[in-house]
Amino acid sequence: MNVPFLDLRAQHDPLRGEIMAAVQEVIDRSAFAGGPFVAKFEEDFAAYCQTRFAVGVGNGTDALWLALLGLGIGSGDEVITVPSTFMATAEAISHCGAKPVFVDIHERTFTLDPARLERAITPRTKAVIPVHLFGQMADMDPIMEIAKRHHLHVIEDACQAHGAEYKGRKAGSIGIAGCFSFYPGKNLGAWGEAGAVVTNDPALGQKIRVLRDHGQDKKYYHSDIGWNGRMDGIQGAVLRIKLKGLDRGNAARRAHAKVYDEKLAGLPGLTVTPPAAYGVPVYHIYAVRVTERDRILQALTQRGIGCGIHYPIPIHLQQAYRGLGLGVGSFPVAERCANEFLSLPMFPELTPAQIETVVQEVRSSVSASAPLATLA
């Protein structure tokens, strides 16, 4: 049996009628760019995230970039983030004119290691962007405490963490802003590109609202040099319907992860990554660490198991950032994870038979591997 990495069709089939009716309504009202369907989704999403405001934007990269711009971050500033993330986190920092400064990840959570944060702060540091990688939140209490002491803004990159929790608080609700991507494959995915910034700060929310719409606070009156970063009306309508199923989908992902964790634990050359005790993860990605990653990936792919690597090259070693002069060995945990991470099929509609097939194929693929060195 082939098992896909992701099956969006299985997710959309039961919703097809409801979503098509909503799309028809957007068409009938010609509410394509921004407009009432986006505004309604913003209201629902803010409530879901336990924040006062949500601002719908074009994608997650725009969300990060507009949040930075809205906070006045620009040329000469430094923004701290992690090397273990999707390129967009660093791109957003660079495109507002600031310099990305990296801090290694924690060995068990794969998110920003608070113990290493303070060392990276300089007089130019203006903000920290912890990334809730794979749907697990970073250890926010110590990050917020250090940021407060140094007067730094904290922007959460929650693009992989819709609905994740940290000590009962929702992803995106702890920092000054939380940034989300609704790329189709995300836990809450649009039928195209979309994103949002959530915040409790009225001034920042309003600033981002203006910036996403060419800096106009009134039609053709431009208070700021903004951008076209609006969310499509159709995406607002689709997301509003899909938001209702987000918690159910996240619970299914956690149940699947538990089965994987139990059935894959103790295999030679493979380490499962149990969730941190401080939160509730949402498993956007289910990753294990394996020695001989590339051989196992190839073996699984040949046997019809959809796998991925998130991400093969940490940001500081990407060619695009060679100008930062950060070589191999700069961030050992991130580099090691990049060599060992293997993402297995994970989506709410996975069946027990599909999970069993993945488990059996992983078992037979790793059996020839050497054991991983013990985690520190």
Q: Minimum Å distance from CB 121 to ligand PLP?
A: 22
Residue closer to ligand PLP by CB (options 45, 86) is: 86
Residue 99: CB atoms within 10 Å: 17
Q: Minimum Å distance from CB 90 to ligand PLP?
A: 9
Residue closer to ligand PLP by CB (options 175, 195) is: 195
Q: Minimum Å distance from CB 84 to ligand PLP?
A: 10
Residue closer to ligand PLP by CB (options 190, 270) is: 190
286-324 burial string, b = 16+ CB within 10 Å, else e? bbbbbbbbeebbebbeebebbbbbbbeebbbbeeebeeb
Residue closer to ligand PLP by CB (options 59, 365) is: 59
Q: Minimum Å distance from CB 352 to ligand PLP?
A: 28
Residue closer to ligand PLP by CB (options 235, 357) is: 235
Residue closer to ligand PLP by CB (options 36, 184) is: 184
Q: Minimum Å distance from CB 87 to ligand PLP?
A: 8
Q: Minimum Å distance from CB 28 to ligand PLP?
A: 28
Residue 192 one-letter amino acid = G
Residue closer to ligand PLP by CB (options 51, 160) is: 160
Residue number, nearest CB to ligand PLP: 60
Binding site for ligand PLP (CB under 6 A): 59-61, 85-86, 88-89, 131, 157, 159-160, 181, 183, 195
Residue closer to ligand PLP by CB (options 239, 296) is: 239
Q: Minimum Å distance from CB 156 to ligand PLP?
A: 10
Q: Minimum Å distance from CB 190 to ligand PLP?
A: 9
